[in-house]
Amino acid sequence: MVSVVSATTPPQPTPAAPATPPRPRRRRFFRVCLALLRILTLVHAALCIAQPITMGQYLAGNLDIITWHGVGGDGIVFIALLMIFVAVLYAIAGGRVWIAVVVPILFLVEGFQVGMGWSRQLGIHVPLGVGVVVASILLAIIVWLPRASRDRRSAVAAGSPADSGARS
C-alpha cells in the first residue's frame, strides 16, 4: 500500500516519548536509603524525646540518671552522624537535597548542645535542647510524608515542576 500525502495536509507531530521510569536498581537504592533515613530519624527523635524525661527524673531526685542523660546525648550525636551519611546517599539516589543540608546542621547544633551540657552552661543547653527536640520530631515527620518517597529525578523527567523538589 502506498500512502498519499497531499500538499495541504500538515505533517502530524510525533507524540513525545513517555518519561522513562528510574532503573530498577536505582529505585531499589533510593528505597533502601529512604528506609534507613526513616529508621534513623525515628530513633533519633525517640532519643531526643527521652532527654527531657531523664532530666525530669534527675530533678525529681534520681541523681544516678544524669549518667543516662549524658549517654543519651552522646547517642543522639552518633545517630545524627549516621543520618548525615544516609541523607547524602538519599539525596544522591534522587531524594530531597535539602534534607542532606539540614541533617549536618542539626548534627553541629547537637554537638554544641552536648558541649554546653557537659560545661554546665544551662542557660544555653536547656533552650537549645528544646529546639533540638522540636527539629528532630519535625524531621522524623517530614521523612515519612509521601513526598519524601518520590524520586525527584523521575518527577523532573516527567515534567512535573510541582514534584521536582523545588518546593519540598
For the stretch 129-168, pLDDT in tens is 999 999 999 999 999 988 877 776 665 555 555 444 444 4
Q: Residue 17 and residue 12: Cα distance in Å, rounded?
A: 15
Residue 28 lies in a domain: yes
Residue 70 lies in a domain: yes
Residues 96/152, Cβ–Cβ less than 8 Å: yes
Residue 160 lies in a domain: no
Residues 30/151, Cβ–Cβ less than 8 Å: yes
Residue 51 lies in a domain: yes
Residue 50 lies in a domain: yes
Which contacts of 143-146 are long-range, i.e. CB under 8 A and separated by 24 or more positions?
Answer: 143/34, 143/37, 143/38, 143/41, 143/99, 144/38
Exposure string (b/e) for 31-63, b if CB count within 10 Å is 16 or more?
eebbebbbebbebbbebbebbeebbebbeeeee
Q: How far, CA to CA in Å, does 139 sit from each of 16, 18, 44, 72, 102?
A: 38, 34, 10, 19, 9
Residues 57/65, Cβ–Cβ less than 8 Å: yes
- Domain containing 83: what range? 24-154
Q: Model pTM?
A: 0.74
Domain count, the chain: 1
Residue 130 lies in a domain: yes
Model confidence over 4-59: pLDDT tens digits? Answer: 555 666 666 666 655 655 566 668 888 899 999 999 999 999 999 999 999 899 88
Residues 132/106, Cβ–Cβ less than 8 Å: yes
Residue 161 lies in a domain: no
Residue 126 lies in a domain: yes
Model confidence over 88-141: pLDDT tens digits? Answer: 999 998 888 999 999 999 999 999 999 998 889 889 999 999 999 999 999 999
Residue for grid cell 523521575 = 154
